[in-house]
Amino acid sequence: MLSLGKKEVLIVYRKHLRFLLLVITSALIFWGCQSTNVGPPGPQERPLTWAEMDLVQRKAHMRREVLPAAAGLFKDWRPERFANIDCSLCHGPGVKKGNFNMPAAHLPRLSGALLLGPEFEKHPETTRLKLNRLVPMMADALGVKSFSIVTRRGFGCYSCHLGPSGPLFGN
Ligand code: HEC
Ligand code: HEC
């Protein structure tokens, strides 16, 4: 019968540990990329993900899901200022010409600091509202993951705002 010494056991264990770590990392990356089917049915009746929707479907999804949720959230926060919001709140004046590009140039540029230090310092209230409510609400409505500090990808502040010198974090 084969019997392994302490050293061999350790080597076998190391080999497996490496494999296990690889599996866990791949699973995490895969999980991080997964998106939910939030849209209208596509081929084979499977609902489309946000990434799969065309322009018309995206506009409809914005009107049906994003706009009402955002209207509720902003109105809760500052009832007078945000009594009536529309697509231009996030997309800016370009919506009249059909420009829905994000991130949007009419919004204030943010610092680019990963932990939002300058934002928390200068605008604690709006930063907390955005981080705790707007970002999760939007990620949910679009069926995508929220921004992760580890992967530096996902839906976050820079999905709407520009950084100091342009788009950041893959947006
Ligand atoms: C609360 C903010 C918000 C509001 C209000 C909003 N949008 Fe959007 N919209 C976004 C964000 C953020 C994206 C980018 C999503 C992403 O990461 O792909 C987007 C993307 C889009 C796109 C896709 C653009 C592209 O290049 O594919 C369209 C079209 C669009 N919005 C239309 C609308 C319309 C029409 C309305 C009003 C009914 C609206 N949006 C209201 C935040 C908003
Ligand atoms: C869905 C789009 C969207 C996302 C995501 C978003 N914002 Fe905003 N942000 C806006 C809009 C629209 C305004 C203008 C309305 C307002 O004053 O809140 C704004 C304004 C701001 C302002 C300026 C406030 C002022 O009074 O001048 C700051 C600061 C800000 N956002 C920080 C953040 C931070 C930090 C995050 C991420 C935690 C974030 N935003 C995520 C849409 C967004």
Q: Check pocket membership of 116 for ligand 1, CB cut-off 6 A.
A: no
Q: Say how far apart CA 88 and CA 104 lie, in whole Å.
A: 10
Residue nearest to atom 32 of ligand 2 (CA): 127
Q: What was the pLDDT predicted at 3?
A: 63
Q: Say how far apart CA 85 and CA 92 lie, in whole Å.
A: 11
Give the DSSP letter of residue 146: B
Q: pTM for the whole thing?
A: 0.86
Question: Which ligand has the nearest atom to the CA of 73?
Answer: 1
Burial 89-122 (b: 16+ CB within 10 A, else e): bbbbeeeeeeebeebbeebeebbbeeebeebeee
Residue 23, CB-side half-sphere exposure with 13 Å CA sphere: 6
pLDDT by 10s per residue, the chain, length 171: 556 677 776 676 777 777 777 777 666 655 555 678 889 998 888 999 999 999 999 999 999 999 999 999 999 999 999 999 999 999 999 999 999 999 999 999 999 999 999 999 999 999 999 999 999 999 999 999 999 999 999 999 999 999 999 999 999
CA distance to 18, 23, 103, 170, per residue, from 30 (Å):
18, 10, 25, 17
Q: Say how far apart CA 168 and CA 103 lie, in whole Å.
A: 9
Q: Check pocket membership of 168 for ligand 2, CB cut-off 6 A.
A: no
Q: Which mutation among 52, 87, 107, 153 tests ligand 1's pocket best, with the greatest number of atoms within 8 A of CB?
A: 87
Partners of 146 in the beta sheet? 155
Q: Say how far apart CA 9 and CA 121 lie, in whole Å.
A: 53
> Which structure tokens are listed for 121?
């310092």
Q: Which mutation among 130, 147, 171 tests ligand 2's pocket best, with the greatest number of atoms within 8 A of CB?
A: 130
Radius of gyration of the chain (CA): 22
